[in-house]
Amino acid sequence: MSESIPNELLIKLLLEHPDFASFRKVGEDDWRDSSEKNPSFSLSPKGSYDFKSGNSVNIYELAKEKGILDGAKKRSGFFSRNQSNPNESGDKSFLAAKIWSEATTFSGDADYIRDYLTEDRNIPSDNYQDLINAGLLRWFPKKNNYPPALIYPFHQIEEDCSLRKQIRKIHFTRKEAFNGKRKNALGKDGHLTVLPPLRLSEVASKRVYLAMEGLEDALSVRQYYSDRTIVVAGSKENLKHLDRLLKKGDELLIIADNDGTYYPNSGQEKAAQICQLLQSKGVNAKALMSAKPKLDANAALQNGKLSEWLKTLVEVPKIKEYEFSDFDIESIKGKKVPKLPKSILPGKLENYLELVARSLDLNYEAAFIEFLVNASIAIGGNKKINIRPNWQEKAILWVASIGKSGSGKTPLHNQCGGFFLQSIQLRWREQYNQELEQFKNQEVNKPPKPIRKRLIANGLTIERLCALHEDNPAGIGITSDEIIGVLNGLNQYKGKGNDKQKLLTLWNGNSYENPTADSDRYIPSVFVPISGGIQEPLVKEIVSEHNIMDGLASRFLFNYLIWNLHPIEIEEQFKIDRLIEDSIGKIVLEEILEKLAHIRNEPSQIAISEHARNLLATLEFKLKKEQRNGNDQTGAAYAKLRTYIYRVALLLHYITESKPDEVELSENTALNTIQVMKYFLANMQQVYSFVELNTKEQKVKKILDKIRELGGKVPIRKIKQLFKGSIKPEEIEEICHSLEKLGELVLTPTGKTIELSLP
């Protein structure tokens, strides 16, 4: 049988399995874990191999172990032998999605649903008929030995509080018990059930919610809260997921189960905990419960006393044990930076960049942005994008890459195109030396003295930069290990003359004059990309109050260099080094940069296709609204990000199109630009959150960052040793206990010490 199922199909299905969802292709037949949870584990069409332990499993046995053989057989033309119980066949999330898609809401099925909800539970059909019509309540008919059931979805809540459309977790409810249970869930990929308001016209755009544990209770009271979005948790433990759904300014009412005993894990305690947390985040949250234990909404409805029951609801008791700290954990954690999808650049190039990042124990996104920086330098200032009348942009990027000293910024920059740009410049220098020698030796009809072409310079003064730019009208890129050194070199911090104003003018890309006692420099079209590294504590030197006011801070894009949770093993390092050396993606990178450098002196103006223009304008409008909603510190940053939309779009256009000068900027390039700008937006928000941290919050962040750097698990005595002299031991203990209460740390007594671990 194993030989009848193609290995290519088995590997495809394995990569769809949740255990391998984070695996990415790093070679022709090699997939690795991009999350770094198991960096020594390799997956291929032959099976799996663990470089650390030496264990291997063939592809058929691995598929059998993960429970996907039934799906593989079906797709290969075989019939599954195990269909008796959905909980026993295949991956549960995959199976939940399959059952949900097969369940229907035909009129006959609606009768089955009404038989349970109305005939059995006394819930008026007006309270749920719209949910049947919308396909949010479905009927699962009897199948083999599996009894019929009402099913409804658990929604996956994304980082932006939106709901993922695909359903991969569902809830079964039956009249009669099956295998000892009347209710059960299937699947792992989902958080809460979110049902629309009964009366949409009454709520307009308000985000007002009612949360309860059970579906029957929620539907019983739905007509009394017709203006609210209904959230069904499914259990008291799931109430914690409300933190994913709610954001500042939202309104929430929780009607909790009164389980009688208050401590330690009653419904009212869980409701009080999440309510208190949400209040600390700016959510208008309130938690009520039945005045009588064990009396829920549906029981009151069936007794004909629902209206009375609602009037007698009382607030859940406050919980002394669950006190919050004197620091803002959300500001400390910052905006979670999204991962960039692997479909923006040519595939082989993306594989190469991922290998480079892995070899340095860094995130893929850090390598992606370093490549963009080098592409920005190569393209020059003769390429422009037409946005609106009298508005054009060039691909000028100013990027500060944030990472600890020794995090690999310089080798990352070099391997992502820096070395190749240096080789181009060296080639130009050799050509210049030859031309200069010929110039010196030619005495008759002597031509003009040759000019040395350049792509890159390191730290410069304004005067020297202008001189080089005059000789290189297409532009000069400035790169440095330390971005502060670049700014210092441009007299940014010397406080004399108008050098800072000149620096700000460079970002705009317009004409530029710099008259001095010795020269009268004029550059008709400026193009000066700037990039460099910076340690996070020094970010305040860029995002300072003064630099925010005059606009320097807002001109920078930020790129966090994130160390992987676990460093790669030695044998893995050797293998990745070999793959990098032989990578076709490296050749693709060099071909792209060579193409950009070759055409950089040719003026061209790129138009935007209609669909692409609409997409980019929509993003621009969203950033405009964010600018108004933000504070004074971030307002200017949002404004500059709107400009960067088109600079990044132009750059991606030239990177990905085979004949970029001849075609419009496409819808696909616009979509990719949006992904990159979301990444830059999240980095900006994280930077501005960091600079606003108080002294206590900075200490908390240092502790959390250090625990992560040490692999996510470390004895508390180790943390005390590492911060000896900067954070008092008793303060470390107090911070760690506060983080435990907030769910950000797990404290486990181990021998004579306490082990700290990330949840």
Q: Which residues pair with 386 in a beta bridge?
A: 392
Write down the architecture of domain 695-757 according to CATH.
Orthogonal Bundle (1.10)
Domain positions in the chain are 2-81, 93-320, 347-439+450-691, 695-757
How far the first Cα of the chain sits from its last, in Å, is 42
Average pLDDT of 37-54? 75
Average pLDDT of 246-251? 91
Question: Is pLDDT at 688 greater than 50 in this prediction?
Answer: yes
696 by Cβ neighbours in 10 Å (0-12 / 13-18 / 19+) ranks as: middle
User: Which residue did the predictor score with more confidence, 624 or 141?
Assistant: 624
User: Which residue did the predictor score with more confidence, 459 or 557?
Assistant: 557
Interstrand relation of 30-33 and 23-27 (parallel, antiparallel or unpaired): antiparallel
pLDDT of 108 reads 57
Number of Cβ within a 10 Å radius of residue 121: 18
Number of Cβ within a 10 Å radius of residue 342: 16
Which of these ranges, 284-288, 395-399, 465-469, 500-504, has the smallest mean pLDDT? 500-504
pLDDT of 89 reads 37
The alpha carbon dihedral of 242, 246, 247, 248 has a sign of: negative
Question: Is pLDDT at 132 greater than 60 in this prediction?
Answer: yes
3-state helix, strand and coil shares in percent for the chain, rounded to the nearest 5: 50, 20, 35
Q: Residue 706: which residues within 8 A CB-CB, separation 6 or more?
A: 714, 719, 722, 723
Average pLDDT of 303-313? 94
Q: Residue 11: which residues within 8 A CB-CB, separation 6 or more?
A: 31, 43, 44, 45, 59
Question: Is pLDDT at 77 greater than 50 in this prediction?
Answer: no
pLDDT of 365 reads 95
Question: Is pLDDT at 421 greater than 90 in this prediction?
Answer: yes
Q: Which residues pair with 251 in a beta bridge?
A: 208, 284
Which of these ranges, 78-82, 388-392, 472-476, 738-742, has the smallest mean pLDDT? 78-82
Interstrand relation of 208-212 and 251-256 (parallel, antiparallel or unpaired): parallel
Residue type at 140? F
Q: Which residues pair with 756 in a beta bridge?
A: 714, 747
Question: Is pLDDT at 494 greater than 60 in this prediction?
Answer: no
Angstrom distance (rounded) from CA 13 to CA 69? 9
Question: Is pLDDT at 1 greater than 50 in this prediction?
Answer: no
Buried b / exposed e across 305-333, counting CB within 10 Å, b at 16+? ebeebbeebeebeebeeeeebebbbbbbe
Query: Options 1.10.3470, 3.40.50, 3.40.1000, 3.30.70; which CATH number does 347-439+450-691 get?
Result: 3.40.50
- pLDDT above 70 as % of the chain: 89
pLDDT of 405 reads 79
pLDDT of 73 reads 65
Average pLDDT of 230-237? 91
pLDDT of 495 reads 47
pLDDT of 144 reads 64
Token duo for residue 330 = 């959300």
pLDDT of 458 reads 81
Q: Residue ranges of the alpha helices (H) in 58-175?
A: 59-65, 69-75, 92-102, 107-114, 129-133
User: Which residue did the predictor score with more confidence, 687 or 81?
Assistant: 687
What is the SS3 assignment for 478?
strand
Whether 552 and 500 have beta carbons less than 8 Å apart is answered as yes
Q: Dmax over Cα atoms in the chain, in whole Å?
A: 112
Question: Is pLDDT at 253 greater than 90 in this prediction?
Answer: yes
What's the mean pLDDT when you consider all of the chain?
85
Strands (E), 669-725: 713-715
Confidence of residue 448 (pLDDT cuts 50, 70, 90): confident
The pLDDT tens digits of the residues spanning 524-567 come to 899 999 999 998 888 888 888 888 888 889 999 999 998 887 88
pLDDT of 700 reads 92
Question: Is pLDDT at 84 greater than 50 in this prediction?
Answer: no
Average pLDDT of 22-48? 75
Whether 457 and 491 have beta carbons less than 8 Å apart is answered as no
Q: Which residues pair with 560 in a beta bridge?
A: 402
